[in-house]
Structures are given as structure tokens and as C-alpha cells.
A and B are shown apart, each in its own frame.
Chain A
Amino acid sequence: MTEGLTAIINVFPYMLGGSLVTILVVLGAMGLGLFLGIPLAVGQVYGNQAVRWAVGLYVWFFRGVPLLVLLFLFYFGLFAVLEINLTAFTVAVMVLGMISGAYQSQIIRGAILSLPEGQLRAARALGMSDAKAVMHIILPQALRLSIPGWSNEYSIVLKDSAVTFALGVQEIMARTHFVATRTYQHLPLYILAGLIYLVLTYAGIKALRMLEQKVRIRGYAHH
């Protein structure tokens, strides 16, 4: 028991460093996912048939292939063949980000489709091009409506980030595994890892909830 406690205390700074890596992976992936998700969603809703088909293909691929397969496919496969030297961290962010882009595109698409059709018509009636209407009228509303979906996506990306330990990214899971195999204190260390994930989940969802409140449109009662 005391050995377990000692192990936890000893590894705590090391685990905090791992938490920071996890946070960076998740923020990077969510950011890249949003950057990809917005044009994908807009393309799928307003694009012509070719664009819609291309987006459908992208979403199908990144939602359909398991995360671990994608990580190995890009890190050991594609980038190795192309002789592009990227760190495991960078590839982890890219792969998680591309997957998140597929999921986020569907969150945003749903939000766009939930807006009243009259919003776009009114923008067009004022002489706005569709691009301007999407930029100034549709997206500001759709992104607000996407925030509840994002907290779901955030908790999924956070948990998925643990899989990147397979590439050797020095995040929470990799460090827990490293210490546990040397100290044989598996139980207390994995409890600690689980608790860190729970704290990060809570903090992220809380932060998104606050963001939701902050950008809430005044007068809307149903929040």
C-alpha cells in the first residue's frame, strides 16, 4: 500500500508532463479537426455533386478505418514511403485531427441543416453571395449550435489520444505503461492515469459549457 503511494508521489511530476503532452495532442487534433470540419461541412451541404461525393469519401474513410490502423498507416507506412520525417507527436496530431475533422464535419453539417432556411434566403435577398452568406450568417450560428456536439467529440479525442502511445508519443498512457513495467505498481499507477483522464474530461467539458454560455444569443430561452 505504502509502496503504491510512494510510486504515485514519485511519478507525479513525470505524469503531469505526460498530461501536458496529452493536452497538446488533443488541442492540436481538435483544432485541425475544426479547420478541416468547417469546409467539409460547407462542401457537403452547399457543394455540387462532385464536392459532396469527395466529402463523403473522406468521411467514410476516416470514420471507417480504426485509429490504430490509421496511425500505423501514416507513421510507418505513408510517411516512411514518402520519406517525410515527422515526429510521432506530429503524426498523432495529424491523424487524430483528420479523424476528428470527419466527425466534426458531421456535427457542423447537422447544425447548418438545423438553421431555418429563411436565414440563407434573407442573406441572398440582400445581395450577398452564397460564400458571404455562409461566412457571416450561416457559420456564426451553426458553430454556436455545434458546441454541445464538440464536448462529445472532445471526450472521444481525449480517450483516443491514449492509443498514440503505440507510436511512442510520451503522453499519459505511454508514461504510465513505462513506469508500471519497471515498478510493478500497475494498479495504483493505472488508477492514477484513469483519474487524470477523468479530470481532463471534466475540465474540457466544463470549458466548452462556459464557452457555450459566453456566446449564447440573448433572448433564446431554451438553454
Chain B
Amino acid sequence: MPEEPILRIENIKKAFGQREVLKGVSLSISRGELKVLIGPSGAGKSTLLQCINFLVTPEAGEIWLEGHRINQHRKRELYAYRQQVGMIFQDFNLFDHLTALDNIRIALLRVRGMSKQEADARAMAELERVGLSGHALHYPAQLSGGQKQRVSIARALAMDPKVMLLDEPTSALDPELIGEVLAVIRDLVANGMTMIMATHQIGFSRALADEIIFMVDGLVLEQGTPERIFSDAVCERAREFCAKITELYGESL
């Protein structure tokens, strides 16, 4: 490790009833890195991301942000931590009763306690950043999937997160809308945002990820640079998976 990791998770375990979804996952990420989680569905990628900001309560394990261990049972600490960890969902989860602008403003006003003018300015700036300032007064139902996801990214960015978690941000999108969302994420990479992202976008990951983490059955099976994982993964499952996913989703982007 070149420097102290900004976020470190250790030995996270989670079971839903009898089914162990995470069997002890550890990873750490340094400032400005992009780590990509890949693996077959049911591998636990989504659960892992949701455990990282305690939307799902892990049964065991520790999470450290900037050298400070998070105690999820202290409500105040938990809320403060979540403000620093942005989350992007596969199905956007925009607040349906609020305009694009209000979706971004609501947490600035109610969580960060900004004044109305401050919140307005910040929300507009974030909409601008994702190329949607012309859609500020549109409601989610009036936006395309790609636009919704860009608003949700703007909403997360407005909180000044130290780390962003992206849970298959393009999986619910029509193919022609994937590009606009990936472009926004690519911008974030260029600006040095620290991100952990679950995705099947192989071309994108190969070009931009610092590390690929291959998960199967609740465990990290292999991790390494994109070149290594995609070209000569040590384990056969990873090789097979990469071949299949490349065939399915192509190399483009």
C-alpha cells in the first residue's frame, strides 16, 4: 500500500437465514482509486456494497474510514458516516415526489443544514456537472433511465462523499443509455473520486479500474490489475467468467 487506505473493510460476513451471502470479505481502497467488483449474480457484490454503508447490517466484520472504526450502533456516527459514503443504486431510487433539483436539495437542506440559497446553488452546480441543468424541474417519471441515474449521481456528489459505492449503475438501463452514465462516471475517475463499483462493463473496467475484485459465493476469489484478471487470471472460474461476460457485453466503451 502506497498510503493509508481511505476505506478499509475487514472480514465482513452476512447471512440471510441459512444462506451465507458473504463469508468473510476484506478489501481496502486508497484515495482516488477505482475498484471494480465482478462476479456472477448471487456472488454477494450488491450485499457487500450495502454492508459497507450499513444499509444491510453485517453480522461480523469491521469498517474503517480514514483510520476510524465505524460503530454502526451509534446513530449519530452512522448518519455522519453515510454522508461521507455516496451510494448509487442499480434502480436509481430517486425520490419520486421530488423534482430533479429537489432530489439533490433535500439532503443538503435536511441533513447538511444548508440554507436554501446555498442548497439551490450547490444542487444546480451538480446538475450542471452531469449535464442536466435543463431538467432541474423535471420529476423522475419525466426522465429517461440514463437521466435518472445521472441525477442520482449528482445527488450523491452534492454530499461531498469521500468514497462512492456504485451498485451496477448501468444494469437497469437500455443499451443506448449506458454510455451517458459511463461518461459521467469516467469524469469522476478523472477527477480523482474514490469508488467501488459493481459492474459487468468489462471494457470500461479494463480501461479505468485500478483493481478488479472477482467474487464468487460470498468470497473474493481473485483480485489484481485488469490486465492480469482479464488476460491471465489464475483461477479458472475467473477466466471463464471473464470470457463469458466479454462475449455478452462486448469490449466496447
Q: Show the binding face of A for B, using Cβ within 8 Å.
A: 116, 118-119, 121-129, 132, 136-137, 140-141, 144, 217-221
Please tell me if B141 contacts chain A, counting CB pairs below 8 Å.
yes
User: Complex formed: what's the CA distance from A40 to B45 in Å?
Assistant: 37
For chain B, the bracket of interface size reads 20 to 34
Given contacts A125-B53, A127-B159, A218-B142, contact A119 B93 (CB under 8 A): yes
- Residue from B50, B79, B89 in contact with A127 in the complex, judged by beta carbons closer than 8 Å: B79
Given contacts A124-B55, A125-B82, A126-B107, contact A137 B141 (CB under 8 A): no
Asked whether A132 lies within 8 Å of B111 as measured between CB atoms, the reply is yes
Q: Output the least CB separation between B191 and chain A (Å).
A: 21
Interface membership of chain B positions 64-105, coded 1 if the CB is closer than 8 angstroms to chain A and 0 otherwise: 000000000001000111110111010111111100000000
Which chain B residues border A127 with CB–CB below 8 Å? 79-83, 107, 111, 159
Which chain B residues border A128 with CB–CB below 8 Å? 79, 107, 110-111
Interface of A is mostly: helix
Q: Output the least CB separation between A122 and chain B (Å).
A: 4
Which chain A residues border B142 with CB–CB below 8 Å? 218-219
What are the 7 tightest A-B residue pairs by CB atom distance, in nearest-first order? Answer: A219-B141, A127-B83, A118-B93, A122-B93, A219-B142, A125-B87, A126-B107
Which chain A residues border B86 with CB–CB below 8 Å? 125
Asked whether B139 lies within 8 Å of A118 as measured between CB atoms, the reply is no
User: Complex formed: what's the CA distance from A118 to B87 in Å?
Assistant: 12
Which chain A residues border B80 with CB–CB below 8 Å? 127
Given contacts A132-B111, A217-B139, A220-B141, contact A126 B97 (CB under 8 A): no
Asked whether A122 lies within 8 Å of B111 as measured between CB atoms, the reply is no
- Residue from A116, A124, A140, A218 in contact with B139 in the complex, judged by beta carbons closer than 8 Å: A218
Given contacts A119-B93, A132-B111, A144-B97, contact A126 B75 (CB under 8 A): no
Closest to B88 in A: A125
Please tell me if B6 contacts chain A, counting CB pairs below 8 Å.
no
Which chain A residues border B139 with CB–CB below 8 Å? 217-219
Which chain B residues border A129 with CB–CB below 8 Å? 75, 79
User: Complex formed: what's the CA distance from A132 to B156 in Å?
Assistant: 17
Asked whether B97 lies within 8 Å of A141 as measured between CB atoms, the reply is yes
Asked whether A116 lies within 8 Å of B93 as measured between CB atoms, the reply is yes
| Residue from B91, B110, B138 having most chain A Cβ neighbours under 10 A | B110
In addition to A123-B95, A127-B79, A221-B141, 16 A-B residue pairs with Cβ atoms within 8 Å of each other are A116-B93, A122-B93, A122-B152, A125-B53, A125-B156, A126-B106, A126-B107, A126-B155, A127-B82, A132-B111, A136-B110, A137-B95, A137-B106, A144-B97, A217-B97, A219-B138
